[in-house]
Amino acid sequence: MVTPVSIVAKDLTITLSELRNLMELRKTDAVKKIQENYGDINQLCKRLKTSPTDGIYGIPSELDTRRTVFGKNYIPPKKPQTFLELVWDALQDPTLCFLIIAALISLGLSFYHPPGGSAAACHATDMEEEDEEEEMGWIEGCAILLSVLCVVLVTAFNDWSKEKQFQGLQRRIESEQKFTVIRQGEVIQVPIADLVVGDVAQIKYGDLIPADGLLLQGHDLKVDESSLTGESDHVKKTLTADPMLLSGTHVMEGSGKMVITAVGINSQAGIILSLLGVGETSEKTKDKDNKAKKTKDSSEAAKNLDTVDIERGDEDVEIKTNEEEKPKKAPSHKKEKSVLQAKLTRLAVQIGKGGLAMSILTVIVLLARFFFINFVMKKLVWTKECTPLYLRRILKDLIIGVTILVVAVPEGLPLAVTISLAYSVKQMMRDNNLVRHLDACETMGNATTICSDKTGTLTMNRMTVVQAFIGNMHHRVIAEPNSIHPTTLDCLRKGIATNCAYTSKIVSPERRGGLPRQLGNKTECALLGFLLELKQDYEAIRGMIPEEQLYKVYTFNSERKSMSTVLKNDDGSYQMFTKGASEIVLQKCCFILNEDGESVPFEEEDYALMIKNVIDPMASEGLRTICLAFRDFPADEEEPDWDEEDDIIKDLTCISIVGIEDPVRPEVPEAIRKCQNAGIVVRMVTGDNINTARAIAVKCGILQPGDNFLCLEGKEFNRRIRTSEGEIEQELFDKVWPTLRVLARSSPSDKYNLVDGIINSNVTKQRQVVAVTGDGTNDAPALKRADVGFAMGIAGTDVAKEASDIILTDDNFSSIVKAVMWGRNVYDSISKFLQFQLTVNIVAVIVAFTGACITQNSPLKAVQMLWVNLIMDTFASLALATEKPTEALLKRKPYGETLFDIENGRTAAPEGPPTQHYTIVFNAFVMMQIFNEINARKVYGERNVFEGIFTNSIFCCILVGTLIVQILIVQVGGKPFSCAPLTLEQWLWSILLGIGSLLWGQLIVSIPNKCLCFLKEAGEDIVEAEDEIFEEEVAEEEKEIDYGERELRRSQLLWVRGLTRIQTQCRVVNAFRASLYDKLEAATMGPDEMV
């Protein structure tokens, strides 16, 4: 080993080109090359002036030297679009193109003034008075162009500012994204951009490798290289078979150390990007031969690549370099358009087409009127002298048509969506939501289901051991060290210190009086904190057994649910320590340490008692239970095959079972309650014990006492949704997921199947919109499959962040609720703008159309049109699309749900059970009749229909009796009456609709009778009509009999007879009133007056 010292350029005895050539090799070819040229990787490290154990010295002068010789770990981003390019992109909007064409036509017509005769000479009296603005007709076209210019500039400026914000955010992310390296023998974290060739970096599960390097030490290390090779299989990395680690690839399992050999544009990812001209080459000092060599090497590196997918911050660049399609230039900039934006753009085009049709109709009406008056009624002749005058009039009509088109086209609609989304994305950053995909913002407004992780999202992710079972004693509080046998204590100290990742540690608090900081895996930090409470120094053990001396490590993954580390002792024996899910590790235990530190047999009966008396009580309190165990491999036995994992991790001796508390975040119960009120179902998906998960679910409010919801483990979940052949069946799945609230001991595949099944389900009329949280590498498929994937910004791996749509920068569930609010706010903002836009559009078009048809001119002039367009589009977009969300948004159901929250009865089978849909229709109809019965009490236009209602007891009894019978029919009538029971809310809506009859009656009373003179008096011409019907019926009977026609005639006859009776009743009433009035008049008149 060489102790790192400060260096200069001449001390580095290996060149950049040598390292580039080496990193282009793969697997055994690379191993042979290293052996032939350098001997081994340690010798290569000497030539790089670094130490495999202590790393580089890391002083500024040394770092500058390495950057000068080998380059910086920085890939220049693609050149952003200029403001003019953004203006050009904005002009591609079809609505704006339509407006520009209209403006050019308007300008062309306004400047065309052909000479010709006077209106008097041509006898065109309706053309004698010219419009006051005819000489200023160019304003019409300029008004349109100015409106377009406003929209384009606002859109381009908005995109430009958004690009600037994105670049600033990307720089912030890059500055905050750090990687663990060893410098001067100390483990530190440095920004990725500060990595240099020669750095010794620690890599672990979930990391995105930031530079090319060679493996120094690996434990069960597997890497996903599909982004470079296209192969989906994980590649196992070892010193003897394949030590090559490439930038842009993901660590899927295990951990290890690597020495960095290429950074930035000299890495394999950088070489591919340099082929496409992304960024500028910083190696200006290279001669032509080196440049040619670089191009040749780059071509070789690209030859075997199908797809390169490299993440820089938030940006994904996908490059295809196969033989059939070689890129000739950098990928074009594509403007991200959300689903809502695309829908409303189509709506704007459709409205524009309607405006075009209206404008064409207006022109046709004006021209038809002009030709009819002058050439039909006045019988004028089209003469050569009058042609210019007639053409001018036709052109004026065309301008009016264009004016109507300008009013109709809603050019502000796409702008409103852009402003609303951009404003929401910017504001969501303040609410700890980093939006990576624009459409995710609006999609959250439709979310109906959230599948959330437990640890870190619902809980605080600050874990502490609060209970422990040691030496046959269940300690409800942490025991004193002297109460634990030294042998057991020694096993705990050694097992926890070495079987936790060396990157996990407890450090001093940042401020005085604060809690110690937990760095690394929180569960491992809890175990290390447990050692500290037992007055044990884990750092001393790690100092005696450095990470390089770990013989074999079986790292934690979702399948094992455990982690094991093998140590080789000086006498040739081996000792393995294991930790993991308590019930899983405990099943592999055959012995247990008693109170004297002795190993005693552990039988199946003991296992059942341990579950019942220790693990379940801990889990019921919401504690995560971890089992700690070990196994000795004597020196006199043959060394086992360490690759046969099932034969290794068995016959364990249980040391202890600990209960780890992870408190629920204080704000989570309220956030979940808001989700439930908003119609969003929250489901917990966790790898914890089912009792622990259930207890946390109750604390969070996901489960309430008395709820009939399911809590399942992964095994039971799979048993219920799969057929006997092991295939997932949607019909079986649909029986499980509606009531499922907690999925425990689940694997990433279980989470994916849950998300996929809910999305594909047809149980509900509206498709379920699913949001999912995830932090692990294996969560990536579920995050991709979900409608909205939330990755954890703190605990999440790079792979999970890359697969997500939104990154929670605080890992807090309450931030998801804020995302729902912003998503719904986007829809509300657009709805407000649409309400304003469409009403103004319709009124403006009607005014322009009717005015043009009646007065042959548009009431809205050019300058007025400009102002209307600015109000209607640009200003309204800014005003209505930038309102902040309120808590009221969470008090209604997700968008797209049906009225009254019921299923659509029109899709129900005719023979199916009664639906609430048609029951509400029937109930509302009956309510209308009941209230209309009250209306019918007054027939002479009286306003107060309730006057004297209680004086008629029979009327009141019939009214109340009808209502009672209706309630019984609806609530208990069932299938005989084709009714489904209604809720109180639905009854209130039915009554409200019934009250509409009273309002309608008041409206009818308000209409004067003289306005209804076109209606005939009841019974008029009835007798004549009846006689005609009889005659027609007799004549028809002589012909061929048509029974359908006969029934129709009979119905008509009954209707006529009914009207006849009404006429007779009216005559009787009139006669009665006349006689009564005569008697009253006679009684009041004197004898002289009677004469």
Q: In the chain, how many H helices and how many E strands?
A: 37, 28
Quickly tell me which residue has 């203006």 as its tokens.
Answer: 87
DSSP sequence for 485-532? -HHHHHHHHHHHHHSS-TT-EEE--SSTT-PPEEES-HHHHHHHHHHH
Counting Cα atoms < 13 Å in the Cβ hemisphere of 74 gives 18
Cite the DSSP H helix spans in 613-771: 616-620, 645-648, 668-677, 690-700, 714-721, 730-733, 748-760
In terms of DSSP bridges, do strands 788-792 and 315-320 run parallel, antiparallel, or are they unpaired? unpaired
Looking at the chain, how many residues does it have? 1091
Rounded Cα distance, 405 and 401, in Å: 6
Rounded Cα distance, 148 and 107, in Å: 14
Quickly tell me which residue has 């907690």 as its tokens.
Answer: 742
Rounded Cα distance, 128 and 118, in Å: 8
Q: Are residues 256 and 237 in contact, defined by beta-carbon separation less than 8 angstroms?
A: yes
Tokens of 930: 């009941």
Q: Are residues 518 and 499 in contact, defined by beta-carbon separation less than 8 angstroms?
A: no
597: left (phi over 0), alpha (psi -120 to 50) or beta: left
Residues involved in catalysis: 453
For the chain, how long is the longest CA-to-CA vector? 149
3-state secondary structure of 735: coil
Rounded Cα distance, 5 and 742, in Å: 56
In terms of DSSP bridges, do strands 473-475 and 464-470 run parallel, antiparallel, or are they unpaired? antiparallel
Rounded Cα distance, 847 and 441, in Å: 38
3-state secondary structure of 479: coil
- Tell me which residue of 521, 478, 514 sits closest to 499, measured CA to CA: 521
Q: Are residues 568 and 632 in contact, defined by beta-carbon separation less than 8 angstroms?
A: no
**What value, to the nearest 5°, has the Cα angle with vertex 975 and ends 972 and 979?**
60
- Tell me which residue of 760, 755, 759, 753 sits closest to 773, measured CA to CA: 755
615: left (phi over 0), alpha (psi -120 to 50) or beta: alpha
Q: Are residues 823 and 442 in contact, defined by beta-carbon separation less than 8 angstroms?
A: yes
Residue 246, classified by CB atoms within 10 Å of its CB into exposed (0-12), middle (13-18) or buried (19+), is buried
Tokens of 460: 């605080």
Q: What are phi and psi of 942, to 5 degrees?
A: -70, 145
DSSP sequence for 119-178? TTTTT-GGGSS--TTGGGTHHHHHHHHHHHHHHHHHHHHHHHHHHHHHHHHHHHHHHH-E
- Tell me which residue of 278, 356, 280 sits closest to 315, measured CA to CA: 278
